[in-house]
Structure 1
Amino acid sequence: MIEGMKKQKIIIMSNQGPALTRLFSATVIKELASSGWSGLGVKILKDAGLSGVFDPSTTLRSFFDTIYDALFHSYRSEYIYKNVIAQKILLGIHSLNTSFMLTEFRSALCRADVVLLNGTSTVYEIKSAYDSMGRLSRQLQAYRQLFDKVCVITAPSQVENVKQHIADDVGLLVLSDRNTLTTIQEPSSMKNSVVPSAIFDSLRRKEYEEIVRMRFGAVPDVPNTRIYQACHDLFCTLDPVDAHDSMVLVLKKRGGSKRLNEFIESVPSSLKAASLSCKLSAKEQSRFSLLLNSVIGDCLSIC
């Protein structure tokens, strides 16, 4: 057994990385939050050959931080990038009181890795050292239709490759081996040219109805089967800036609750992005926060 989890460092092989990244998935977090135990988490650790490596008296909080640290140094997955954005940009530069972060946001035919909402919108497309550039041009074109600022965040080894696929108005950030973010190219504002119809199709019904009510006074009084088209037609009369700013206003409401903010603040640094993307009830958030101080011998059974 390894003593003193706070001092513990583990080394993982790159082929273990994809599996261990799943420890930060919504499924594992949801299992732990709902029942205090994760069958998937146990299986991941067993398959990775890490059963028995950790002292069973190690807290779940320290366990996640140690796995995250090992992933950062040996397999910098997409989750690592999302978590860095959450820590260094959302929480480091902005504030949960005025900003929110969405992950895997549906946009046109793509899913945006990270969207940061404050006074405006910034989308971050992640291209790790393991990603190809095959879809990058199509992804960026889709993002231009919705967001004010478009950025790519990548690894040092991918910088020159990314540069060949982006225009001068797309931002470029690099995550270094020292866990620092460096801006290579600043993004330009694009909200004057967003496409209202694309924005509309990315919203939930209650969101586009709220915008229509806010901008036009009321939702059209039509049969339920015609609500979508009636709202769509009105929304598309908005100029690009009004459509964009209305989108930002309603999307920020997906977060912004005091309860969610307190939950995000309660989790360790390794779980900031996971806490934002997991859809936990108030009861589950409370249970998970308490569970983080429990020992892994109880909730992962890996001793």
Structure 2
Amino acid sequence: MSADINKFRDFSTLFTRSEMLRLLKNDFRSIDAKLARYDLVEEQRGSSYLKVLKEAYKLLQKNYQNEYIIKNEFLNQRLIQKIGNRNSVIFNEMRLGDATADLAIFNGISRVFEIKTILDKEYRLSRQLEVYKGVFNEIYVIVPQENIKKYMKYDDNVAIISYDADISEFNIEREATENIDIDINILMNILHSKEYVDITNKYYDEVPEINSFNQFEICKSLISKIPSKDLNSLFIEAMKNRKIHNSFFKKINNEFNQVCLSLNFKEKDRKELIEKLKNNKVN
């Protein structure tokens, strides 16, 4: 079994950012090396690299529920449909000071999703939730079905979503309680300089003269005085204005949605990736 785990872990690296960038350069050596390592070359000879990766994804989905698989399935089943009106923006690995959110979506409200696989330890979760509560309206933790009770002990305001690996299904076990309070210190760690200047200018009719040396402290002081409801709306608007492309495959080739999101691919980028994988074959 340990040999199988090593194989699954090895194949899971094919869906990383760095690997996809290599594939875009017609560099298929990593896939070739794995096929050779597990005596799969003859079995796959003549197959497109797209077919190889799709089969690898199915193998991982069935046997190795790592973060990529769960995040990708959650994207496909729950989040992508929410951007149909183009009024929502999805972030992958969103930096929040000393924490990083697995997924975040901004539309009328802000939601954050933290994924804990069967392979993860929970020791960092308390600090992560503390940061998330400082800026997000709703917090969701996605956990394996068998670990629901363990994660239910955390803050009752945090939603719990279970993931059944056998049937690749998500269920809400506990709803989120909406929060509009914002921690100014966490917020300022997230905002770019142009964003916090824009928020200040939008809310106040007049602002003190600022320069590159004093703008952070002046804007922070002024933003801290904005009522929570208004600040929440201004924060969501700022996040939706970031250049996030959110170009996804609907059904065909949706195995690659998570890594395309991670790389902030435009539509032409993801189409180019599929064409290269489809037109190159295992020798």
User: TM-score, normalised to structure 2's length?
Assistant: 0.87
Q: Secondary structure at the match of 1:244?
A: helix
Name the CA distance, whole Å, in 2 between partners of 1:23 and 1:163: 33
> Does the Cα contact within 8 Å between 1:196 and 1:244 map onto a contact in 2?
no
Q: State the shift of 1:131 in Å.
A: 1.2
Match of 1:270 among 255, 258, 279: 255
User: TM-score, normalised to structure 1's length?
Assistant: 0.82
1:140-155 matched pairs, under 5 angstroms: 140-155=129-144
> Does the Cα contact within 8 Å between 2:83 and 2:89 map onto a contact in 1?
no
Is 1:287–2:280 an aligned residue pair?
no
Q: State the shift of 1:217 in Å.
A: 5.2
Could you tell me which runs of 5 or more consecutive residues in structure 2 were left unpaired when the two chains were aligned: none
Question: What residue identity is the alignment partner of 2:160?
Answer: L
Return closer, same or farther for 1:31/1:214 CA change in 2, 3 Å cut-off: farther
Q: State the shift of 1:113 in Å.
A: 1.1
Is 1:123–2:112 an aligned residue pair?
yes
Q: More displaced, 227-236 or 143-152?
A: 227-236
Cα root mean square deviation, aligned: 2.6
Q: State the shift of 1:283 in Å.
A: 6.5
Name the CA distance, whole Å, in 1 between partners of 2:42 and 2:228: 55
Name the CA distance, whole Å, in 2 between partners of 1:96 and 1:273: 20
Match of 1:74 among 59, 63, 79: 63
1:37-52 matched pairs, under 5 angstroms: 37-43=27-33, 45=34, 49=38, 51-52=40-41
1:48-67 matched pairs, under 5 angstroms: 49=38, 51-52=40-41, 55-67=44-56
Name the CA distance, whole Å, in 2 between partners of 1:63 and 1:220: 59
Is 1:242–2:230 an aligned residue pair?
yes
Name the CA distance, whole Å, in 1 between partners of 2:31 and 2:209: 50
Question: What residue identity is the alignment partner of 2:233?
Answer: D
Name the CA distance, whole Å, in 1 between partners of 2:139 and 2:130: 10
Q: Secondary structure at the match of 1:221?
A: coil
Q: Secondary structure at the match of 2:81?
A: coil
Q: State the shift of 1:108 in Å.
A: 3.6
1:69-218 matched pairs, under 5 angstroms: 69-95=58-84, 97-164=86-153, 166-176=154-164, 177-191=166-180, 193-216=181-204
> Does the Cα contact within 8 Å between 1:196 and 1:239 map onto a contact in 2?
no
Q: Give the corresponding residue for 1:300.
A: none
> Does the Cα contact within 8 Å between 2:142 and 2:162 map onto a contact in 1?
yes
Q: Secondary structure at the match of 2:8?
A: helix
Q: Secondary structure at the match of 1:57?
A: coil
Return closer, same or farther for 1:172/1:206 CA change in 2, 3 Å cut-off: same
Q: Secondary structure at the match of 1:111?
A: strand
Name the CA distance, whole Å, in 1 between partners of 2:206 and 2:69: 43
Q: Give the corresponding residue for 1:9.
A: none
Name the CA distance, whole Å, in 2 between partners of 1:59 and 1:96: 35
Match of 1:32 among 23, 28, 50: 23
Q: State the shift of 1:47 in Å.
A: 8.0
Q: After superposition, give the CA deviation of every residue in 1:259-281 in whole Å (9 maximum; x if it has no partner).
A: x53x6559711111111111447
Name the CA distance, whole Å, in 1 between partners of 2:41 and 2:206: 61
Name the CA distance, whole Å, in 1 between partners of 2:184 and 2:53: 41
Highest RCO, 1 vs 2 (Cα 8 Å, sep ≥ 6): 1
Name the CA distance, whole Å, in 2 between partners of 1:206 and 1:266: 37
Q: State the shift of 1:88 in Å.
A: 1.2
Could you tell me which runs of 5 or more consecutive residues in structure 1 were left unpaired when the two chains were aligned: 1-11, 298-302
Name the CA distance, whole Å, in 2 between partners of 1:57 and 1:217: 66
Return closer, same or farther for 1:282/1:206 CA change in 2, 3 Å cut-off: farther
Return closer, same or farther for 1:223/1:255 CA change in 2, 3 Å cut-off: closer
Q: State the shift of 1:67 in Å.
A: 1.2
Name the CA distance, whole Å, in 1 between partners of 2:39 and 2:231: 50
Name the CA distance, whole Å, in 1 between partners of 2:105 and 2:94: 11
> Does the Cα contact within 8 Å between 2:72 and 2:255 map onto a contact in 1?
yes
> How many residues are paired up?
280
> Does the Cα contact within 8 Å between 1:220 and 1:231 map onto a contact in 2?
no
Name the CA distance, whole Å, in 2 between partners of 1:175 and 1:163: 14
Q: State the shift of 1:41 in Å.
A: 4.5
